[in-house]
Structure 1
Amino acid sequence: MEKTETGILYVVATPLGNLEDITLRALRVLKEVSLIAAEDTRHTKKLLAHYGIPTPLTSCFEHNEEAKAAGFVRSLIAGESIAVVSDAGTPGISDPGYRIIKAAIDAGIRVVAIPGPSAVVAALCVSGLPLDRFTYLGFAPSTATARRRFLLGLAGREDTFVLYESARRIKETLKDIIEILGNVDTVMGREMTKLHEEVARGPASQLLERLSQSEPRGEITLVLRTHAAVKPVVSAPDELERLMKAGFSFRDAVGAIALELDMPRREVYRAALQVKERLEAGGRGVVK
């Protein structure tokens, strides 16, 4: 272990599911640090036991990470080195770790990456889609309205997008993708590197049909290829009505749709007036 006046914070990538997917450097660091800050100590104990690593563990997850960051920084300043790990993959990428890393940087502590597994990279590299550039989107929003607005922001862009989705929402997300982005080329990676790993490729409609035949399980990584020529296939009135029913004000709904659909505001305003009248006539009260 490199000796310094202060300790080093190591950001260590760990296996997604297959315990063989860990680097020799990661194993050495996990053995030599004073402490391992783990998202779930029960999960990380299995990895450490498999490789005979006796290093002490402490929990560090979403709801206690901020509170624990100051204590970690004090230990680092005192000369102890710490490794931060998540349950699977690389800490900080849609996983805990960001707050500790930021606190260490702010305190002048050296932060070192120990690279390795990432579900994002695993899905991208077997996608067969162009990867000269790509955009990582994290987890798709959990509510229908937020998810549709999120997807509207991708329309008209030529890019490869990668995101996470849960098994229970994947069907609805694929339906929204088809409606808003069109029948785009899609890759669905499920349980990457694990025993039941599955990678499905094809138009979004084909993957949706495949899912109708069996209930998916596990965390899913989606890779989409959109094109600049593709504009949102939803209509302004339909999307306006959806937003207003979801509680958006008249003004905010008009602004959001004009921006997302790249339409003149006055044109969206006219459509919004018709939607407003229809909603008020239907007994929804005055739409403000």
Structure 2
Amino acid sequence: MTVELRGGLYIVATPIGNMKDLSIRAIEILENVFFIACEDTRVTGKLLFRYNVKTPMKAYHEHSTERVKNEILEAISENKAVAIVSDAGTPAISDPGYKLIKLCIEKNYYISAIPGANAAITGLVLSGIPTNRFVFFGFLNSKKIQKSNELAGLVDIPLTLIFYESPKRLVDTLQTMIKLLGNRPAAITRELTKRHEQVRRGSLKELFHYYQKVPAPKGELVLIVGGMEKKINVVDDNLDQIIIKRLKDKSLRDTSIEISDETGITKKIVYARALKLSKPKN
């Protein structure tokens, strides 16, 4: 279908494994832009062939020259519609596309996002680890010292942590996490949306011992790690008073949820403390 598009940059999410996940709107945009800026024309070419999209492609990735970037910006300045896609998932997420987006914003060009698949969010919802608050970190530094420094900065964050990792670095990363973060709940996902999709859940130590014994998994991985659980000091009168006050007109469940949301302390810990305080003293 021919659709007249406003000149600007269209950020189009593509499938992360299953080609059927490309949205109808994404197909429409890809069919009607002037050209498609993509990481690898061979990868995107397979997707376009699947949906009979004939739009020209232009390679744009982290190693692209200034000339390529300027050609894209020049086309947009001439009121042409240009799409940007990554090999898989949403452009600009752990992807050089954000640099082009930033330039378009600086030049006040029109920008629109066509949402779709994203490995980090897909892995998170499959993990079974809290999804209400999370931090997406992307890839940790491949060098051991820098990786340790990055993880050290995440120790006190009471939020679920999401990382991308390569198979060859997985065991080393898990070992470093155990040392710096402690033995937290975690999940590792691979081959998301594909026939052999896999989600392995357990503690960091359990996952470390498992992957230490088996061949390195194939494909990029999403690693989800539970946030720091703040421990309640049982003699913290101020916190106890807050719990006692809430229990006067709220249930144990509602009290635990409210205080957890306000403090970052897990509901499980708050509930256990509230339960103890709610029992009559002998």
Native 8 Å contact 1:165 1:220 kept in 2: yes
Cα distance in 1, alignment partners of residues 40 and 51 from structure 2: 18
Decide whether aligned partners of structure 1 residues 3 and 151 sit closer, same or farther in structure 2, where only a CA change above 3 A counts.
closer
Amino acid at match of 1:223: I
After TM superposition, the structure 1 = structure 2 runs for residues 61-100 of structure 1, keeping only pairs within 5 Å, are 61-64=61-64, 66-100=66-100
Tell me the alpha carbon deviations over residues 55-89 of structure 1, each in whole angstroms, 9 at most, x when there is no partner.
Answer: 00110011116542222111112121010000000
Distance change in 2, residues 1:123/1:36 (3 Å): same
Cα distance in structure 2, aligned partners of 1:65 and 1:96: 13
Unmatched 5+ stretches in structure 2: 232-282
The residue that corresponds to 2:161 in the other structure is: 161
| Distance in 2, Cα, partners of 1:100 & 1:153 | 29
Q: Which amino acid aligns with 2:59?
A: S
What is the CA–CA distance in structure 2 between the aligned matches of 1:67 and 1:187, rounded to whole Å?
A: 42
Distance 1:115 1:65, change over 3 A: farther
Could you tell me how far apart the structure 2 residues matched to 1:73 and 1:179 are?
46
Contact 2:4 / 2:32 at 8 angstroms: preserved in 1?
no
Change (3 A) 1:67 1:139: farther
List per-residue Cα deviations over 1:214-250 (Å, max 9, x = no partner). Answer: 11221111000122438xxxxxxxxxxxxxxxxxxxx
**What corresponds to 2:201 in structure 1?**
201
Structure 1 runs of 4+ aligned residues shifted over 4 Å read none
Specify every segment of 5 or more residues in structure 1 that has no aligned partner in the other structure, as ranges.
231-288
**1:2 positional shift:** 4.5
Query: What residue number does 1:32 align with?
Result: 32
Residues 171-197 of structure 1: CA deviation (Å, up to 9, x unaligned): 011011111111100010112122332
Deviations 1:1-23 (A, max 9, x none): 3554xx12100000011100111
For residues 65 and 214 of structure 1, the distance between their equivalents in structure 2, rounded to whole angstroms, comes to 41
Contact 1:11 1:113 in 2 (8 A): yes
| Closer, same or farther: CA 67–186 of 1 in aligned 2, 3 Å | farther
1:157 CA drift (Å):
2.1
> 1:218 — aligned with what?
219
- 1:243-254 map, 5 Å: none
| Other-structure match for 1:277 | none
What TM-score, normalized by structure 2, do the two folds share? Answer: 0.78
Query: 1:212 offset after TM fit, Å?
Result: 2.4
Match of 2:262 in 1: none
CA separation of 1:56/1:3 partners in 2, compared to 1, >3 Å: closer, same or farther? closer
**Are residue 46 (structure 1) and residue 82 (structure 2) matched?**
no
Number of equivalent positions:
228
Residue identity in the other structure for 1:132: N
Task: Tell me if structure 1 keeps the 8 A contact 2:187–2:223.
Answer: yes
1:192 counterpart SS class = coil
Cα distance in 1 for partners of 2:131, 2:51 equals 35
Question: What SS is found at the alignment partner of 1:82?
Answer: strand
Q: 1:155 to 1:88 in 2, by over 3 A?
A: same
Q: 2:5–2:33: 8 Å Cα contact kept in structure 1?
A: no
Please give the residue correspondences for 1:1-288 in structure 2 after superposition, counting only pairs within 5 Å: 1-4=3-6, 7-64=7-64, 66-215=66-215, 216-229=217-230
Structure 1: which amino acid aligns with 2:50? H
Distance 1:96 1:157 in 2: 27
Structure 2 vs 1, CA of residues 157 and 121 (structure 1 numbering), >3 Å: closer, same or farther?
A: same
Question: TM-score when scaled to structure 1?
Answer: 0.76
Letter in structure 1 aligned against 2:19: L
In structure 1, distance between residues paired with 2:111 and 2:37: 14
Q: Percent identity?
A: 39
